Structure 1
Amino acid sequence: MIDAELEPTVTPLSAEVPALEVRGLVKHYPGVKALDGVDLVVRQNEVLGLAGENGAGKSTLLKALVGLVRPDAGEIWVRGKKVRLKSVVDAADHGIGMVFQEQSLVPNLTAAENIVLGSEGPGVRRGMYRWKTMRNLAQQQLDKIGSDIDPLARTDTLTFAERQMVEIAKVLRIEQRTQFAPVIILDEPTSVLESKEIETLFTQVRRLREFASVVFVSHRLDEVLDVCDRVTVLRGGESVGEVAAAGAVPGDLHRMMIGSTGSDDHYHGNASQRSGEPLRPMLEVRGLSGKTFRDVDLDVHAGEIVGIVGVHGSGREDVCRALFGAEPTTAGEVSLDGTVLELSGTRAACAAGIGYVPAERKIEGMVGPMSVADNMTLTKQKSRCNGPLIAPKKQATLVDGWIERLSIRTPHRGTAIQRLSGGNQQKVVLARWLVAGDIRLLLLDHPTRGLDIGARSEVYRLMRELANSGVATVLLADSLEEAIGMSDRILVMSDGRATKEVACPAGGKPTPLDLVKEMV
C-alpha cells in the first residue's frame, strides 16, 4: 500500500495553459550557437518527444530546463508563469525533474539514499537517517517501475541498467515537491535497458501521463513514436517543426532531422569484404573463464566483424573487457595473430595491438576537460612527439587531418571534448585507435549508444573501413538489428556461456527472433 504522503496532490490548471513553454531560447558558446531561438510547448498530460541529431541543441535545451544552463535570451514559462531557473533544486521546486543520459547518482551511497536525496522528508529525524523509513520510501518508487533492486544495495555494485532504473525512481520523487502536475524529462532513458525493462518503462511513462507531463528524448525514433503524443524536431539549434506521433514513421522524423531524404538501411550490407578465408584467425579464444563467464571459445579473422549478443547478465560485456585486460580471468588462452597473450592489464593489451571503445564513453572512454587533440592522441603518445617532447605542430597536423577525414564537428582541436555532442565525442574516441595505426583487434562495446541516425551511420562507415583494412572486430551492438546488420558472424551467449554461433552472410541474415530463441 502506498503511503498517503507519497501520493501526488495535484492542483488542476486550465486546460489551455501549457505545463511548460519555451519562447525564443538562445544560448551561445565560444564558436558555437547551441540554441538559436528555440520554441517548445509541452501540454498538460501529454508525452512530448524531442528528436534531433547530435549537436542539434537537445542537450543544451534540456539543461536550460533544469537550471544547469543560463540562456542568453528567450523565456521559460511554467504553468503560465515566466520563471528563471537558477539551479536543479530551483527547477525541482517548480516541478521539473530530469533523468540524465549520463547518470548522476552518488556511487558510494545506497540506492535508497540516492532515490530520496534532497527530499528525505520523514526519512531523516534530528539529522539522522531512519533506515526503515528510507527503505520504504525508496521501495515505493522502485515498485512503481517494477524493479527488484534492493534499496539498501550500494549504487556502485549495481549494473549500468540497474543504476538507470534507480535514476528513474529518483526523479519520480518530484511528485512530492510541488502542488502542481510535475514535468518529467527523460533523456535517453532506454539506452542500456533490455526489451522487458523498456516495456516496463513505457508502462510507467503512460502512467505518468495521467497526472504529469513528460518530455521524452531518444535516438531510437521508433520508441519516440511508440510512446509519445507529439514530436518536436530540432536541427542546428532551431525548432524545425513538429508531427503528431499517430500515423508518423521514423523516416518522417529522420527527414526533418537532417533536412533531406534518409535511408532506412544504415548498415549497407556486410562490413567486411574478404576475398578469401585466412588460414588462421587473427583472434583465437579458447576456454576463457572469469567471474561471470566460463569456457568461452571465439575466433575472429582479419577483416571480420563478429557480434556477441545476449540478454543482460549473459557475460558478454565482461568477455569484451577481459580481452582488453580490464577484467580478470581465471582460465583459458587468448592468442592474437598466433601469439599467446598475457593480458595482465590494459597497457599490455594496447601494446599487443588491441583497441577498446567502452560503453560508458564519458566515464571510461575520454577525459572530459582535455582537448580533442589530447584525447585523440592519448593512447599513442609517440604519434604527437619528437623524442620525449610533445611537438605541437606534429600533433596539430595529425589531429586536423583526422578531424577533416571523420567530419568531426568541433570549433577547434583545442576545444575540450566534453563540449562536443555525443556523436562527435565517439568519433574522437574511435579516431584514437586510427591514429595509433597498429591496431589488429578492435573491441566495440555499444559504440552507437546514445547516437542519432546520422552519427550511427558514420560509426558504421568507420567500422567497415577498419574491417576492410584487415582489422578484426568484436562488436557488442546496441540492438539485435544492429548486430545482424553489421556482423559477419554472431556468437550468442546465455548464462555466461557461448551457446551458439550464427552465420550472417549477405542475403541470408537471421532475424532477431532467431537470435532471441538462443538467448533465453
Structure 2
Amino acid sequence: MSAEGVVAQRSPSVVLEVRGLVKAYPGVTALDGVDLEVRQNEVLGLAGENGAGKSTLLKTLVGLVRPDAGEIYVRGQRVRLRNVVDAANHGIGMVFQEQSLVPNLTAAENIVLGCEGPAIRRGVYRWATMRALAQEQLDKIGSTIDPLARTDSLTFAERQMVEIAKVLRIEQRTHNSPVIILDEPTSVLEPSEIETLFEQVRRLREFASVIFVSHRLDEVLDVCDRVYVLRGGQSVGEVRPADAVAGDLHRMMIGSESHEDHYHGSAVTRDETPRERLTVRGLAGAAFRDVDLDVHAGEIVAVVGVHGSGREELCKALFGAVATTAGEVTLDGERLDLTGPRAACAAGVGYVPAERKVEGMVGPMSVADNMTLAKQRVGCAGPVIVPKRQNDIVDKWISRLSIRTPGRRTAIQRLSGGNQQKVILARWLVGGDVRLLLLDHPTRGLDVGARSEVYRLMRELAGTGVATLLLADSLEEAIGMADRVVVMSDGRIVAEVPCPPDRKPSPLDLVKEMV
C-alpha cells in the first residue's frame, strides 16, 4: 500500500499535522524533526527568528518543497504534497510574504487563477462572471479595489489584499474546511487595514483553520489561540497567548534571556553645528512636489505618511530611480546627478528598497556577487575581479553583520529574508564611501533579533557621519530611530517633528499631521 492514504488514529479536531519533518540543504539543515499540529477552527501562530525554519516549513505544507523525511497528515490521512495545486486540492492555501501575483493580469484574473470555475466557458473568459467571483472575495475583506485594475498599478498593500482574496477562493476547491496560511500578512498594512485583516482572520476561524506568521510578536499573541516556537529548525515549545507576553516568545526564539528590542541606543555624538549633507530644494516629480528637505551628517530623518503620500517616490527619486521635473539636490554642497542609479552610486548614495526580492537582489546569484554588485571595483584589480580580494571583503561583512549562510557562494535566494536584507545592506558598506543611505522599510519581515541588528548598524553608520533617510515600518520605529520625523501628505511635506531622546513624540502626534 502506498504511503498516501494511510490513516493515522488522531483526534477529529486535528486537521493538519506534521511529524518529524526534515529538510536539509548543502551546509544547512532547515528543518530538523519538526512536529506541528493544527486544530479545527483555530488560529495557530508560528514564531521564530529569521533562519529558524518557518519559511521552509510553510513551503512544505503548500507543496513547494519536498521534505527529506517525516510525515504530513491532512484530517488523519497521510499525504504527499507534490505541488501547490495538490496542496490546494487538500484544502491548504497560502498568502506569501513576498507575493505571488502575476503583475500584468487584473486583480480579478489573479484572484480566480487556477480556480476559474464558471469564469471560463470553452476556454474563453466570461469577464462579468470572473469580476463577480473576484468581487465576492474582495467584499469579504472590505476592500474597495477595482477587480479589473491591473495588478502592477496597485500599491504593495493593495496587492497584499488581492493575495488574501485569492487564497480565500480555496473554499471552492474542497468540501472540507480549508487551512489558510498567512505569512507576514501585515508587514506593509496601515493600522486600519491590519484591523480589517484581523477581523477577517477571526471570521476565517469560524469555518477554517489558520496558520498565522508574523515577526510582530504582539500581533501573534493578539490574534492566535496557540503559538508554536521554532529555533534552529526544531520545535522548541508551545505557548498559550493568555499565559504569555512577547518577551516570553522572544526568550524561546533565541534560547536565552530576553534581548531588549530597543530602537535607540546611546545618542550619537555630533558637533554642535553639524554640517548639512543632503539639501533638497523645490524637488518635484509625478507623485510629489515642492519638497524642501535637509539632512545633516550623522542624522537619521524618518519620512512618514499614508499610502499615496509620495514618500516612496521621493526616496526613489533621490536615488535616480524615479524622474524629477523640477528642483535641485546637493550632497555635501555639490549638485547630485539624479539621471539614474549609476550616478547616485558613484556619488556615495545607497538605497535599500522595500521589495528586496524584486528590486534589491538577483536571486540566483551568490551572496558574494550580490554584496559587491554596486561596488565591484572593491574586488577588482583594474577591470579584472580578483577572487581572493572579493572573498576577503565578503567574508568580513558576513562576519560583521552575522549573516547566516552556508557560504559566500550560496545563492542569495536560499537565505532567509533577514539574511538577504543584511546582504543588501552590506552592498552599500563594502566600498566605505556611502554618504547618504536611503532605507525603504529596511526591517520589513525581520524578526526582533534581526531588527535590533539593523538598528545597531544604522546607529553605527550615523556615528561615522552617514546621513540616513528612513521610511520606517511603523510609526513607533520612526519615532524610536529618528532624530527628526518629516510628515508627507498628498505629495508635500506638511510637518517636521523633532525627536530628541528625552522628548519623543507619540504616534498620535504624527497621525494628526498625516491625515
Task: Give the TM interval when normalised to the shorter protein.
Answer: over 0.9
Aligned twin of 2:368: 373
Cα deviation, residue 275, structure 1: 3.5
SS in 1 for 2:24: strand
Any idea what the Cα deviations from partners look like across 1:2-60, whole Å, max 9, x if unmatched?
A: xxxxxxxxxxx997430110111000100100000000011000000000000000000
Any idea what the Cα deviations from partners look like across 1:400-428, whole Å, max 9, x if unmatched?
A: 11111111111111111111111111111
Aligned twin of 1:403: 398
1:223 matched to 2:223? The reply is no
Cα deviation, residue 352, structure 1: 1.2
Aligned twin of 1:28: 24
Task: Identify which of 457, 461, 466 aligns with 2:461.
Answer: 466
Task: Identify which of 489, 495, 511 aligns with 1:494.
Answer: 489
State the 4+ residue runs in structure 1 displaced beyond 4 angstroms.
none
Cα deviation, residue 508, structure 1: 0.6
Aligned twin of 1:123: 119
Instruction: Measure the CA separation in 2 of the matches of 1:441 and 1:270.
Output: 21
Aligned twin of 2:510: 515
User: After the TM superposition, which of the residue ranges 310-319 and 230-239 deviates more from structure 2?
Assistant: 310-319
Aligned twin of 1:205: 201
Task: Identify which of 62, 65, 77 aligns with 1:66.
Answer: 62
Cα deviation, residue 262, structure 1: 1.7
Identity of aligned residues (%): 80
Structure-to-structure mapping, 1:354-503, within 5 angstroms? 354-503=349-498
SS in 2 for 1:404: helix
Cα deviation, residue 270, structure 1: 6.0
SS in 1 for 2:428: helix
Instruction: Measure the CA separation in 1 of the matches of 2:387 and 2:76.
Output: 54
1:15–1:44 contact (8 Å) kept in structure 2? no
1:94 matched to 2:90? The reply is yes
Task: Identify which of 229, 234, 238 aligns with 2:234.
Answer: 238
1:445–1:477 contact (8 Å) kept in structure 2? yes
1:271–1:487 contact (8 Å) kept in structure 2? no
Q: Which residue identity does 1:375 align to in structure 2?
A: N
Instruction: Measure the CA separation in 2 of the matches of 1:270 and 1:513.
Output: 25
1:383–1:435 contact (8 Å) kept in structure 2? yes
Task: Identify which of 150, 154, 160 aligns with 1:164.
Answer: 160
Cα deviation, residue 511, structure 1: 0.8
SS in 1 for 2:81: coil
Cα deviation, residue 83, structure 1: 0.5
Instruction: Measure the CA separation in 2 of the matches of 1:56 and 1:297.
Output: 44
Instruction: Measure the CA separation in 2 of the matches of 1:478 and 1:433.
Output: 20
Q: Which residue identity does 2:507 align to in structure 1?
A: P
SS in 1 for 2:265: coil
Instruction: Measure the CA separation in 1 of the matches of 2:259 and 2:230.
Output: 19
Aligned twin of 1:141: 137
Task: Identify which of 98, 103, 108 aligns with 2:104.
Answer: 108
Instruction: Measure the CA separation in 2 of the matches of 1:264 and 1:209.
Output: 33
Task: Identify which of 337, 353, 357 aligns with 2:348.
Answer: 353
Please report the TM-score for the alignment, with normalisation by the length of structure 2: 0.97
Instruction: Measure the CA separation in 1 of the matches of 2:308 and 2:488.
Output: 10
Structure-to-structure mapping, 1:146-157, within 5 angstroms? 146-157=142-153
Task: Identify which of 269, 273, 287 aligns with 1:273.
Answer: 269
Any idea what the Cα deviations from partners look like across 1:196-249, whole Å, max 9, x if unmatched?
A: 111111000000000000000000001111111110000000000011112421
Instruction: Measure the CA separation in 2 of the matches of 1:276 and 1:422.
Output: 39
Across the aligned residues of Structure 1 and Structure 2, the Cα RMSD in angstroms comes to 1.2
